Structure 1
């Protein structure tokens, strides 16, 4: 059988995200996962002291995750990934509960926000490639009733999304216009990742 992935071991994804793993496997990559166990809020606090931009923050988070897993698995090629949502001057985090999710959607409704999706590849405790791609999403104006209906239909799973939407599911109903690659919106830009993997000799195609 012909394989697309030609590296000696599967790509090690420093994440337990089902969406990111599915994206990689759908592209024909051989993947294993491991939790990075990185304190993202501590990384963000340090980034604020350095006045990092949202794009640089996404890069920093992806890098810290890749390095954390690479140090434990120095012989493996490790992929760290993260995504930062910013709207105006505010960076959004995953909501803690439904009430917080409602506030998120009220803040984003009728406005355009940016999703900055970054990836870092590490091996032997060093970064060997990194990238960040942004998408811009214009959310429809939403009434309180519309927000409540959406949250009822979408269920608690949306609390795992920084924007309180699963773009690949019911979340698509929330938008007027989207400028960006689908995989970027889902949190892992595949085109620059695949280009990096080709440069590293991991892909047959």
Structure 2
């Protein structure tokens, strides 16, 4: 049986230009101070992943995901990125994150995930650890480090297709959905959000 064609899709928060530039400056300062190996993330591809749908998403699942995303209702919010760190895996990726992510971020994640599951859109089982990757293959760990805070106004979310090939990775925006200031605002249960 032939394998499904590549169709790598994920939902994400996509920063505006001012946020992107502020994050790039924070990343530059960290690189100057720490002198990592590896490669800086491409600033134009900065994002925060909400849900990963998979590497081979069938067309029918992609269509269902787009339709379901239009039913997600969550309020806009501000995400303050105020520290940096790394994951201790083979690539030693460095990231920017929030010491106190706003409850609205977890509400958006939960509503998006639940909406996808109700629509029978397969979602990859991954722990939600909100972060924006700024460097890969650093070769040395980045201890928890305070940065000049970056206030990211989050007013929508996107579905991105990641095209992997022999050249650089290309991100294609498949859809964008605005957040709704009139959406209900439940208080999440304590401990729902996995903090970095």
Structure holding more strand per residue:
2
Higher relative contact order (Cα pairs below 8 Å, separated by 6+ residues): 2
The structure carrying a bigger helix percent of its residues is: 1
Q: TM-score, normalised by structure 1?
A: 0.28
* TM-score normalised to structure 2 length: 0.29
